[in-house]
Chain A
Amino acid sequence: MIEKALKGKPAYWMWLAILGVFITIGAVCYLRQFFYGLGMTGMGRDLSWGLYISQFTFLVGVAAGGLMLVLPYYVHNYKAFGRITILGEFLAISAILMCLMFIMADIGQPLRGLNMMLYPTPNSMLFWDMVVLLGYLSLNIICGWVILTHERKQVKPPKWVYFFVYLSLPFAVSIHTVTAMLYMGLPGRHFWLTAITAPRFLASAFAAGPALIVLACLLMKRVANFDAGKEAINKVTTIIMYAAIINAFFVALEFFVGYYSQIPGHIHSLQYLFFGLEHHGEFYNNLVPFLWAFVLFCAAGLGLLAYGKIKDKLSDGLVGAACALIFLGLYLDKGLGFVLGGLVVTPLHEIVEYYPTANEIGITLGIWATGFFVLTLLYKIAIGVEHEVEG
């Protein structure tokens, strides 16, 4: 099946070449970091997690989001998703690869990474995160590949693979829950120390992941002659809307807890993220525009979808714009705000703002490009098989 990825129109090769450029830049930046140290990043003693971990957190959500396609199809036998479940599985594979790369980019001694397995430590949530991420990755590789090969031969997939399909459902939930637990259980980090972190992560994941898949479908409809079907897209956008609204509800609850209880630790991060924080005469607000963009983007995306649904005018353009807005909005919320907002007040009660360095951004873009490179190849194969079966 691999050969399907090796044939394509010039635009396909152009796209891969562009990604290749970013991958190269990322690789060079990474080598610099590898030889000089993580001091090349904007992180420091008082703010010791940054862009890498926040991208990781967001991408775990993207990977888990595929569940919203797999579950209706396999559990509720919702046939309209038949053509796109494979897209959910393949998105999960590339998202988790990105996650693993971000972790490797983040740790100070990458060559010792295996110590996590050599000295397994069940009381550490990072250990469990590794377990569920690797598990989910393997499950998706197995399910995606077996189902696709059988579809190509036009025979039913073997029974045993369904065991793995059903197993992957709780795994999808667990990867994001355990990722939330990395944050939720830390004493003294008030912004993260809340049980709503996990459900909020899941809600935003179930909007962001499917939104990305819809975007991919719309794009492939134009360039690859692949139609996911109107009903499927319609249904996915409904799921996205519910998930995004639930996420907004959870964010509002955070505001209530903070501003009604008036406990400083619960207010500080929200204040910093949305309004700016004053401390000893200095004003810290470098993330405010991003967080308001999150609010606006999500509201606009939801508004567009609601309008389209009520008037029954869900054009591709409208759906695409709405999904792009929601995806970007949720990225700003979780891929920037959640991690950096939680860190702005240090345990020693100083305010430290974070500015990533060019080198760090280079690595980040490189990893995203690598993920999209893998995703492109996988989607190319999946569509190639569908065309072969139909044509």
Chain B
Amino acid sequence: MDKQRRKFLKIAGATALAGVSAPAVVKLTSTPSLAASDHGAAAGHGDSHGEEQPTGIRYGMVIDMRKLYGKPELMDKAIEACHSVHNVPHFEDKKNEVKWIWKMPFENVFPDHSVYYSAKIKEENEYFALCNHCDHPPCVRVCPTKATFKMEATGIVAMDYHRCIGCRFCMMGCPYGARSFNWFDAKPNIKKYNPDFSARTRGVVEKCNFCAERLPLGKEPACVEALKDTGAIVFGDLNDPHSELRKILDKEPTIQRKPTLGTKPSIFYIV
């Protein structure tokens, strides 16, 4: 059962994009990112975003914060969109919180980046945080049951909520705090239940799934769709040099979260 579902996900994901992109061996970003000049290059850590998963599809995202500065209500809209399609429960206290995408000050989302003498705009605004769908995901490495796994066909780091034993080792492994645990029953705290997507049981971990369930239906991720008219989030294939995503990355300098850890995030930020 488990295996079949997983296989289905993989096939569905891959076929949905078949023909969209030919496998290409390319550098992910040709512009040197700010991140690299921060740490990697100078310290000789080498390439902080080299060409990983060079073939096939590797989904990624660029978040253009410039389009969101001063508009927290837009960010809330995206968060709300994600959480309602995915039946993410709402808990009042921070301790029991479950969240897939949220907003936080710059120093929390990018703790490795200096905040001395930083631009005012950085201090006045909050930034999106979500799972990075890392190319080298530590959460997958530590999971003792393969309940967290990487879909090789798409690069999405997905979860099998029916296999997870709730050891929370993945939450220790993830350096981005992207994962939430269901400390209590979710059902009573889901505002409006979406029957198209299952709710999680108590005692398992969950996180952003890059809308793996929507992609095969030809839909964009819910957060991208919610901000469609602003174009603040662009989703696409990092390995396809002709994708809109790649065009932006080729042009704009971007940063990533904690690039020195070698996880190779698939989310890029323009700040």
Q: Which residue of B lies closest to A122 (CB)?
A: B144
Chain B facing A: main interface SS: loop
B142 touches A126 (CB 8 A): yes
Enumerate chain A interface residues (CB-CB to B < 8 A): 36-39, 43-46, 48-49, 103, 106-110, 112-113, 115-116, 118-119, 121, 123-127, 130, 182, 185-189, 346-350
Complexed CA–CA distance, A87 and B115 (Å): 56
Q: Which residue of A lies closest to B107 (CB)?
A: A349
Residues of A within 8 A of B171 (CB): 48
Residues of A within 8 A of B26 (CB): none
- Out of A39, A113, A348, which one reaches B129, CB within 8 Å? A348
**A-B CB contact pairs (8 Å), 20 listed:** A36-B184, A37-B183, A37-B203, A39-B183, A43-B95, A44-B183, A45-B96, A45-B183, A49-B172, A107-B166, A108-B164, A108-B165, A108-B181, A112-B163, A121-B146, A123-B141, A126-B144, A186-B142, A186-B173, A349-B111
B151 in contact (CB, < 8 A):
no
Task: Give the interface residue-count category, chain B.
Answer: 35 or more
Per-residue A-contact encoding for B163-206, CB less than 8 Å = 1, 0 else: 11111110111111100111111000000000000000111110
A347 touches B94 (CB 8 A): no
Complexed CA–CA distance, A119 and B146 (Å): 7
A121 touches B144 (CB 8 A): yes
A188 touches B104 (CB 8 A): no
Q: Which residue of A lies closest to B202 (CB)?
A: A37
Residues of B within 8 A of A116 (CB): 144-145, 165
Shortest distance from the beta carbon of A1 to any chain B beta carbon, whole Å: 36
Q: Would you list the 6 A-B pairs with minimal beta carbon distance, nearest first?
A: A108-B166, A108-B203, A188-B175, A44-B95, A39-B183, A349-B111
Residues of B within 8 A of A107 (CB): 165-167, 203
B138 touches A125 (CB 8 A): no
Shortest distance from the beta carbon of A80 to any chain B beta carbon, whole Å: 42
Complexed CA–CA distance, A49 and B104 (Å): 23
Q: Which residue of B lies closest to A125 (CB)?
A: B142
Complexed CA–CA distance, A123 and B170 (Å): 13
B185 touches A37 (CB 8 A): yes
B158 in contact (CB, < 8 A):
no
B202 touches A108 (CB 8 A): yes
Known: A38-B203, A116-B165. A188 touches B258 (CB 8 A): yes
B236 in contact (CB, < 8 A):
no
Residues of A within 8 A of B143 (CB): 121, 124
Complexed CA–CA distance, A195 and B261 (Å): 17
- Out of A108, A124, A126, which one reaches B204, CB within 8 Å? A108
Per-residue A-contact encoding for B89-112, CB less than 8 Å = 1, 0 else: 000001111100000100111010
Complexed CA–CA distance, A13 and B144 (Å): 41
Q: Which residue of A lies closest to B186 (CB)?
A: A37
Shortest distance from the beta carbon of B207 to any chain A beta carbon, whole Å: 11
Shortest distance from the beta carbon of B51 to any chain A beta carbon, whole Å: 21
Enumerate chain B interface residues (CB-CB to A < 8 A): 94-98, 104, 107-109, 111, 129, 138, 141-147, 163-169, 171-177, 180-185, 201-205, 258, 261-263
B145 touches A115 (CB 8 A): yes
Residues of B within 8 A of A130 (CB): 144
Complexed CA–CA distance, A116 and B95 (Å): 27
Residues of A within 8 A of B184 (CB): 36-37, 39
Q: Which residue of A lies closest to B147 (CB)?
A: A115
Complexed CA–CA distance, A48 and B98 (Å): 12
Complexed CA–CA distance, A43 and B171 (Å): 12
Residues of B within 8 A of A109 (CB): 164-166, 201, 203-204
Residues of B within 8 A of A45 (CB): 94-98, 177, 180-181, 183
Complexed CA–CA distance, A292 and B263 (Å): 37
Complexed CA–CA distance, A127 and B184 (Å): 26
- Out of A108, A119, A185, A346, which one reaches B145, CB within 8 Å? A119
Residues of B within 8 A of A123 (CB): 141-142
Q: Which residue of A lies closest to B176 (CB)?
A: A347
B96 touches A189 (CB 8 A): no
Complexed CA–CA distance, A130 and B167 (Å): 13
Extra pairs beyond A112-B163, A116-B144, A186-B172 (13, CB < 8 Å): A39-B183, A44-B183, A45-B96, A45-B98, A108-B182, A108-B205, A118-B145, A121-B144, A124-B141, A188-B258, A346-B177, A349-B108, A350-B108
Q: Which residue of B lies closest to A129 (CB)?
A: B144
Shortest distance from the beta carbon of A363 to any chain B beta carbon, whole Å: 15
Complexed CA–CA distance, A103 and B258 (Å): 31
Complexed CA–CA distance, A143 and B78 (Å): 61
